[in-house]
Amino acid sequence: MRELWTELVGRDDTAAQAIYAIIESLYDRTGYHTLTHIRECLNLLQTIREDSPRDRAFEFAIWFHDAIYIPGDKANERRSAALAEVILKGLGEAAFVERTMRLILATEHETGREIGPDEALMVDIDLAILGANIIRYDEYARQVRVEFAEYDSAEYTQGRLAFLKSMLDRPAIYTTSEMHIRFEQLARANLQREIGMLEPTMQ
Number of domains the chain contains = 2
Is 116 a domain residue?
no
Residues 24 and 61 in one domain: yes
CA–CA distance, 177 with 120 (Å, rounded to integer): 10
Residues 106 and 132 in one domain: no
Domain boundary among 110, 136, 157: 110
Nearest to 5 by CA among 49, 38, 31: 38
Residues 106 and 140 in one domain: no
Residues 20 and 103 in one domain: yes
> What secondary structure does DSSP assign to 26-61, as a single string?
HT--SSSSSHHHHHHHHHHHHHHTTTS---HHHHHH
Residues 68 and 139 in one domain: no
Is 118 a domain residue?
no
CA–CA distance, 117 with 97 (Å, rounded to integer): 18
Residues 94 and 158 in one domain: no
Residues 60 and 104 in one domain: yes
> What secondary structure does DSSP assign to 52-120, as a single string?
S---HHHHHHHHHTTSS--TT-TTHHHHHHHHHHHHHTTTS-HHHHHHHHHHHHHTT--TT----HHHH
The pLDDT of residue 64 is: 95
The pLDDT of residue 115 is: 81
Q: What are phi and psi of 47, to 5 degrees?
A: -65, -45
Distance set, CA 93 to CA 2, 7, 55, 89, 100 (Å): 24, 19, 14, 7, 11
Contact 130, 137 (CB under 8 A): yes
Domain boundary among 79, 110, 141: 110
Residues 157 and 96 in one domain: no
Residues 49 and 104 in one domain: yes
Domain span at 164:
127-203
CA–CA distance, 38 with 158 (Å, rounded to integer): 27
**Predicted confidence (pLDDT) per residue in 136-154, tens digit:** 999 999 999 999 999 999 9
Residues 138 and 99 in one domain: no
Residues 132 and 189 in one domain: yes
Is 122 a domain residue?
no
10-residue mean pLDDT profile of the chain (203 residues): values are 70 78 93 96 94 88 96 94 88 86 91 82 98 98 97 95 96 96 98 96 78
pTM exceeding 0.85: yes
Q: Indicate the SS3 state at residue 126.
A: helix
